[in-house]
Amino acid sequence: MNVYEAIAARRTIRDFAPTLIPQEVLQRILGAGLQAPSHNHLRQWNFILVEDVRQREALVSVFRAEQTQSELESMLDSWNMSVECQRLMYLDGIPKQASMILNAGALLIPCFHQPSLVLGEMKSLHELNAFASMWAVLENILIAAASEGVLGVTKIVSTPAEATHIRNVLAIPEDQEMPCYLALGYPSKDAVFHKQVSVDLKERISIDRWSS
């Protein structure tokens, strides 16, 4: 599989088969992540592989909650979410946030070194360089995983309280930040693959100045 085929094969799933990822495969996937561009050339990235079921249970306890279909619909309405394929993905995905973390063949918490940063006090986007380069690492991982027949999904660490909870459960130092949970694995037989938004490349490229 060449790189273009791997990019095309990358899909988000939340339904995993009960199959572990062989260590040599996982090592290749994570090694590809470490080849990403680094904002400061130091590659200050680390991963915590969470294998213990009790640790996974502890992690999801901070956000695990049952919501009715009506509650989910109301929440999406409050977000003004009207595009059908986007709405269907959220309706399917939100209830699976805990199960995808518990059932993934490999659960990783990616960490990056981040000096103290208060988003409300940012003076420039330059201060987000460490955060941005971490996402380049994650994209490399997802593409490499797809080349191995492994798919995945991220769940954003959405609140300071959730970040503190992860830090406490996994004993993560204060100078490390965690952008997301990364769940990887082989898709189950009934895995849901949502329709992706169709994009016309010609409509997304402007020459010399913005055009609509």
Residue carrying the six token digits 């999801």? 60
Residue from 145, 147, 126 nearest 137 by CA: 145
- What Rg value do the Cα atoms of the chain yield, rounded? 18
* SS3 label, residue 113: strand
Residue 211 lies in a domain: no
Residue 126 lies in a domain: yes
Which stretches in the chain have pLDDT values below 70?
A: 116-120
Residue 191 lies in a domain: yes
Structural domain boundaries, residue 10:
3-204
Residue 210 lies in a domain: no
Residue 209 lies in a domain: no
* pLDDT per position as a tens digit, 105-143: 999 999 999 876 665 677 788 888 889 999 999 999 999
pTM: 0.91
Give the contacts of 44 (CB within 8 A, at least 6 positions apart). 38, 112, 113, 130
How many domains, the chain?
Answer: 1
pLDDT at position 120, please?
A: 60
Residue 212 lies in a domain: no
Give the number of other Cβ atoms within 10 Å of residue 206's Cβ. 9
**CATH (domain of 130):** 3.40.109.10
* pLDDT per position as a tens digit, 75-85: 999 999 999 98
Residue 72 lies in a domain: yes
